[in-house]
Amino acid sequence: MEYYAHSENDQGKRHLLSDHLNKTAKLAESFCLNKDWSKFFYWAGMFHDLGKYQTDFQTYLVNSGERGSVPHASWGAGYSRILKQNEISFAIDGHHKGIPDRSHWKGDVDPYIHNDVINFDQVVQTYLKDNHISESDFKISNIKFSDPMHRECFVRYLFSSLTDADWLDTEAHFEPDKATTRESKFWPLDEMIRRLKDLIDSKEKTGEINQLRNQVLTEVLKKSGLPCGFYSLNVPTGLGKTLSSVSWAMRHAKENKMKRLILILPYINIIDQTARILKNIFGDEWVLEHHSNYNENDKDDKENIDPIQKRKLLATENWDYPIIVTTTVQFFESLFSNKPSKCRKIHNISESVIIFDEVQSIPKDVILPVLTLLKNIQSVMNSSFLFCTATLPAFEKRADFEGIENITPLVEDSKLLFDKTKRVSYFFKNDLVPVSMTDLWAEAVQQKDSVLVIFNTKKSARECYQVAGINIKEFEKIYHLSTSMCPVHRWAVIDSIRKDLADRIKIFVSSTQLIEAGVDFDFPCVMRAMAPLESIIQSAGRCNREGKMNRLGNVMLFKLEGEKMPDKNYGAYAQEAENLIKADINRLHEHDFFKEYYKRIIKLYADPDKKKINQARLEFMFETVNDAFRIIDQATESIFVWNYNDDSRTLYESIRYKPYLSKEDFRKMQVFSVPVYRNFLLKHRVWLEEKKIEDKTQGYWLWNGKYDETGIVVDPLTVEEMIV
């Protein structure tokens, strides 16, 4: 009798089970970086579909039974448990449903240990005979890990390798053309290094800033030959951080025989900017962007897209690509996931150089599990991590914080660089005694040049914009920026602001903190509401950014009467920043001041493992970890602003009568959509009745309410329920 893994493909061929097991095993083994561990990966592949040797499963295939009606994963998991290989057992048990918590795993495998499964021995014997193996062939010595967390990380690595190998071999059976399209390409590292060097050599070398950029690059490259580990690049804004970090990463990859480069950034607008730079240097075919515009759960297969784009779409599933640019959310919510679809990519993080930009943006209440898992990956999967920012957090291990034992700085004397690139002067408005919006406006109009004012809430930004509108004669143009505006609207405003600044038109901009990262404005004067220290420093980066003024730029810190903070933690962090700088505002110029602040925040206010994720990992609670870990804690929805302009109206007409929307439809809608918290929708059910908001059956929310230059217009008392 012949046994099959899958039903007939388009060529009428069934997938032989022994063939599927052997190919999956070899593929999984090929994903293992450690020769001493390779047998774990091989036997995980060989055992994973042992349950398909059930007569019931073979009957199910022949009769095209209901999917999932004959469970099979627990059979291989049970057999692995009998052989005392728990790591393999966990990986196999979860290869369809996701890695379970330990209690659920025990419930799945205990019946096999206690011989409570009918015909189990017969199925095992059939499996052994069909694959020409015996139990004596299965000889693996248990791995001894120095840290119990390493074993949990190893299971994630094994699970990812098994899942990807299983899916890839299944794809090769059913969709051989797709399998051919996704085949890995050789990473031309020497050519990429040459292109990057040519670009850097072509840049201007004269002037103090350019000389400092070259100094940073030279010092960074001297450390590219160091072994895999943790590194930091702490340099001021404007000193070529992106090119220096990528130059180091490329050479580091070559020296350590690494497989790929992964860049992790907090915001999509920064990703777009970084990806464009890399594509211009190396070519579009070598750079994969993976964020909300590339959703691995969407299986739309576009027949008309070119092979490179098709391969990129496939590569979002498992990150088998030379250069990947992705978000902090995508990266960490995959690492902490237990779901097969998200975990496929984890094994391709091994032997990679991973650059984190703006690392201070990682939420403080998950920072301990984040750093712990990164340490585990570095040890188990031999990857290197580079933390890049002008505000480097205190990630090092200390008495009250289980951080990273050793982070090597790529630039030894960061202080010298920060001192030489001082571009602004800080001062307090009214000694931080709260002022009215009228007083704040009076301060702005006294400035001779353009002014950017940054608030903590959308309500304040909108009120200030309205005050400016009444007194517009003081400035040639006024602008508003917040996430109440859809992206295409914000982009247009940002472009106009940049043009006006370049043309030296006197403008006034009222904005929320969205301006603080990825928006390279250069204002002579920035006024910032008191905020957490990272926001203050980022805001200062929008002032005299290019250092072209013949004087220092002005950064004024103020407190606004009656202004509420976005949440309690934000308010506590802002108060601590005030406490630290009130006596001496010039501390803001100290390059390591942020580390002191970060240590105090973690010690006094933040719970660095608020949801006890590390303890859950120690207990092999994979599903619990998946459910607990979130970079963005509150769930959000997007509202499609269909009536923003002619393009949005045309798009709406093209989708409004479709029974189902494609990934491309949602991608096009995204630039006309505003993200809101789900409770925003729940609290405005009356708007549903009035048809201001519609819940469309195709899976999106439609905005029919008022929209003006400040974005979606809602009751001012409820505007803060939307994302800041």
* Residue spans per domain, the chain: 4-181, 191-419, 422-590, 636-721
- Is this structure's pTM higher than 0.85? yes
Of the candidates 321, 351, 316, the one whose C-alpha atom is nearest the C-alpha of residue 331 is 316
Please state, in angstroms and rounded to a whole number, the distance separating the CA atoms of residues 254 and 125.
47
Least confident of 461-475, 645-659, 668-682: 668-682
| 444-484 pLDDT tens trace | 999 989 999 999 999 999 999 999 988 778 899 999 999 89
Cα 454 from chain centroid?
Answer: 25
Structure tokens at 3: 């046994």
Angle between helices 367-381 and 328-335 (to 10 degrees): 70
Query: Which of the listed CATH numbers 1.10.3210.30, 3.40.50.720, 3.40.50.1820, 3.90.320.10 matches domain 4-181?
Result: 1.10.3210.30
Q: Which residues of 319-332 are buried (b: 16+ CB within 10 A; e: fewer)?
A: bbbbbbbbbbbbbb
Confidence band for 634, pLDDT divided at 50, 70 and 90: low
Confidence band for 724, pLDDT divided at 50, 70 and 90: very low
- What pLDDT is attached to residue 70? 84
Contact in structure between 173 and 15 (CB atoms under 8 Å): yes
Asked whether the predicted pLDDT for residue 716 surpasses 60, the reply is no
Asked whether the predicted pLDDT for residue 324 surpasses 60, the reply is yes
Confidence band for 147, pLDDT divided at 50, 70 and 90: very high
DSSP assigned state of 366:
G
Of the candidates 536, 248, 233, the one whose C-alpha atom is nearest the C-alpha of residue 414 is 233
| 191-419 and 422-590 in the same fold | yes
Least confident of 180-184, 186-190, 479-483: 180-184
Task: Name, in order, each residue with C-beta under 8 angstroms of 66's C-beta and a sequence gap of 6 or more.
Answer: none
Between 97 and 240, the higher pLDDT residue: 97
% of the chain at pLDDT higher than 90: 69
| 21-52 pLDDT tens trace | 999 999 999 999 999 999 999 999 999 999 99
Please state, in angstroms and rounded to a whole number, the distance separating the CA atoms of residues 480 and 462.
7
CB 384: neighbour CB atoms within 10 A? 22
Please state, in angstroms and rounded to a whole number, the distance separating the CA atoms of residues 691 and 534.
41
Confidence band for 550, pLDDT divided at 50, 70 and 90: confident
CB 636: neighbour CB atoms within 10 A? 12
Of the candidates 403, 407, 415, 367, the one whose C-alpha atom is nearest the C-alpha of residue 386 is 407
Of the candidates 426, 411, 578, 512, the one whose C-alpha atom is nearest the C-alpha of residue 724 is 512
% of the chain at pLDDT higher than 70: 95
Please state, in angstroms and rounded to a whole number, the distance separating the CA atoms of residues 123 and 713.
65
Of the candidates 88, 56, 83, 86, the one whose C-alpha atom is nearest the C-alpha of residue 71 is 56
CATH number 3.40.50.300 is the correct assignment for the domain at 191-419: yes
Compute, in degrees rounded to 10, the torsion defined by CA atoms 569, 575, 579, 580: 50
SS3 of 596, please? helix
Label residue 385 left, alpha or beta by phi (over 0 means left) and psi (-120 to 50 means alpha): beta
Contact in structure between 50 and 33 (CB atoms under 8 Å): no
Asked whether the predicted pLDDT for residue 256 surpasses 70, the reply is yes
Asked whether the predicted pLDDT for residue 698 surpasses 50, the reply is yes
Query: How much is the average pLDDT of 568-573?
Result: 92
Between 679 and 459, the higher pLDDT residue: 459
Q: Which CATH class is domain 422-590?
A: alpha beta
Angle between helices 38-47 and 86-93 (to 10 degrees): 40
Of the candidates 516, 502, 498, 505, the one whose C-alpha atom is nearest the C-alpha of residue 461 is 516
At 181, the amino acid letter reads T
Asked whether the predicted pLDDT for residue 723 surpasses 70, the reply is no
Query: How much is the average pLDDT of 666-687?
Result: 79
Please state, in angstroms and rounded to a whole number, the distance separating the CA atoms of residues 516 and 390.
13
